[in-house]
């Protein structure tokens, strides 16, 4: 009987102790949505002339310092929606027999702060910095040419909110606004050597993205 009482007492004490297992640890998040291009890829060359939008697939991975603070890395692959009437100077991608495709890559580091981590709906804000690659390819009869831009993403501002489904999983909307500048351009054409160099007439461009984010606290 004494052993049973002792076991019950130990179990009760364990239940009474605060649980901190989810305060810190690894976090993985997946995002999907839509991106709107703004600004210029190069001077006098609008980003939206190449792509009218993109479908981003975004991965966040990092560490929760506590319930509110996350630091880590992000990676995004964006499937570009080619603006066929204007891409590559126009009169290319909308021609019969020519197929055009585009993509963007974004990666960098970020921090996210949750304002009410224990609430059923937890609003949050984030800040990041990174690097961006954007490429557009035209293909005809097995031959292809492409233009690829590369440059830094100066700032990546994010806001959103998480609906807590379980202690380990939450889901909710997000919006992100980034500002970047392409500094390098690579042009590849069939039968010609690639031209790779710095962009003289640099300009700034932006992406406005929104969608849904699912977060797993591991």
- How crowded is the C-beta side of 193, counted as CA atoms within 13 Å? 3
Q: What is the DSSP letter of 92?
A: S
Strands 121-140 and 143-166: antiparallel
Task: Tell me the domain boundaries of the chain.
Answer: 25-217
CA distances from 2 to 6, 9, 13, 123 (A): 6, 10, 16, 49
Alpha-carbon gap, residue 109 to 127, rounded angstroms? 9
Segment 182-207, tens digit of pLDDT? 999 999 998 899 999 999 999 999 99
Fold of the CATH domain 25-217: Porin (2.40.160)
Tens-place pLDDT, residues 88-140: 888 899 999 999 999 999 999 999 999 999 999 999 999 999 999 999 999 99
Strand 99-114 relative to strand 25-42, pairing: unpaired
> Cα separations (Å) of 93 from 13, 47, 157, 187?
70, 16, 33, 16
* pTM score, whole prediction: 0.86
């Amino acid at each position: 009987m004494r052993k049973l009482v002792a076991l019950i007492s130990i179990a009760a004490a364990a239940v009474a102790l605060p649980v901190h297992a989810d305060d810190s640890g690894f976090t993985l998040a997946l995002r999907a949505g839509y991106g709107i291009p703004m600004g210029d890829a190069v001077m006098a060359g609008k980003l939206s002339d190449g792509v009218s939008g993109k479908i981003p697939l975004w991965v966040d991975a990092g560490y929760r310092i506590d319930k509110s603070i996350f630091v880590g890395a992000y990676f995004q692959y964006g499937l570009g929606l080619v603006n066929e009437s204007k891409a590559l100077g126009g009169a290319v991608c909308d021609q019969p027999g020519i197929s055009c495709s585009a993509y963007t890559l974004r990666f960098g580091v970020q921090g996210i702060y949750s304002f009410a981590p224990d609430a059923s709906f937890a609003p949050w804000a984030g800040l990041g910095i990174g690097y961006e690659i954007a490429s557009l390819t035209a293909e005809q009869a097995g031959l292809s040419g492409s233009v690829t831009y590369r440059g830094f993403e100066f700032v990546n501002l994010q806001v959103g909110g998480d609906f807590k489904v379980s202690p380990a999983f939450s889901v909710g909307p997000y919006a992100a606004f980034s500002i970047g500048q392409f500094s390098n351009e690579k042009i590849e054409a069939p039968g010609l050597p690639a031209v790779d160099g710095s962009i003289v007439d640099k300009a700034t461009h932006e992406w406005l993205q929104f969608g849904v984010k699912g977060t797993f606290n591991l």
